[in-house]
Amino acid sequence: MEPIQLTAAVVSIVNTSRIILEYMQNWARRRQHENDFDEDMDTDIPESTGCGNWDITVAVGLVDTVECRFWARQTSTDWWDCIVLQVWDDSQWLRNFHMRKTTLLELCELLSSALKRRNTKMRAALTVEKQVAIALWKLATPDCYRSVRNQFGVGKSTVGAAVIQLANAIIHVLLSRVVTLANVQVIVDGFAAMGFLNCGGVIDGTHISILAPDHLANQYVNRKGYFSMVLQALVDHKGRFTDINVGWPGKVRDTRIFRKSGLFKQLQEGTYFPDQKITIGNVEMPMVILGDPAYPLLPWLIKPYTGSLDSRKEQFNYRLSKCRMVVECAFGRLKARWHCLLTRSDRSATSFPIVIAACCVLHNICESKGKTFMAGWEVEANCLAADFEQPDTRAIRRAQQGVLRIREPLKTSFMSGQAFV
Higher per-residue confidence, 309 vs 320 = 320
Helix axes 156-173, 101-115, angle to 10 degrees: 90
Q: Are residues 110 and 251 in the same domain?
A: no
Q: Are residues 140 and 261 in the same domain?
A: no
Q: Are residues 187 and 202 in the same domain?
A: yes
Total tally of structural domains belonging to the chain: 3
Read off the pTM.
0.77
Helix axes 90-97, 101-115, angle to 10 degrees: 60
Is a pLDDT exceeding 60 seen at residue 62?
no
As a whole number of angstroms, the distance between CA 44 and CA 323 comes to: 104
User: Which pLDDT belongs to residue 33?
Assistant: 53
Q: Are residues 57 and 147 in the same domain?
A: no
Q: Are residues 168 and 245 in the same domain?
A: no
As a whole number of angstroms, the distance between CA 369 and CA 104 comes to: 12
* Helix H or strand E segment including 229: strand 228-235
Q: Are residues 186 and 161 in the same domain?
A: no
User: Which pLDDT belongs to residue 206?
Assistant: 95
Facing residues of 231 across strands? Answer: 206, 246
User: For the chain, how big is the Rg over CA atoms in Å?
Assistant: 32
Mean pLDDT of 158-180: 94
User: Which pLDDT belongs to residue 168?
Assistant: 95
Q: Are residues 108 and 256 in the same domain?
A: no
As a whole number of angstroms, the distance between CA 341 and CA 384 comes to: 10
Would residue 46 be called left, alpha or beta, if left means φ above 0 and alpha means ψ between -120 and 50 degrees? beta
Determine contact, residues 130/80, Cβ cutoff 8 Å: yes
User: Which pLDDT belongs to residue 31?
Assistant: 60
224-241: per-residue pLDDT in tens? 999 999 999 999 999 999
Averaged pLDDT score across all residues of the chain = 80
Q: Are residues 16 and 121 in the same domain?
A: no
| Domain range enclosing 9 | 3-42+51-66
How big is the CA angle at 16 (ends 10 and 22), to the nearest 5 degrees?
135
Q: Are residues 334 and 233 in the same domain?
A: yes
Is a pLDDT exceeding 80 seen at residue 134?
yes
Q: From 173, 190, 224, give the residue that closes a domain.
A: 173
Is a pLDDT exceeding 60 seen at residue 72?
no
As a whole number of angstroms, the distance between CA 217 and CA 343 comes to: 18
Residue 18 to residues 13, 53, 59: CA-CA distances in angstroms? 9, 16, 12
Q: Torsions phi, psi of 149, nearest 5?
A: -60, -45
As a whole number of angstroms, the distance between CA 136 and CA 104 comes to: 9
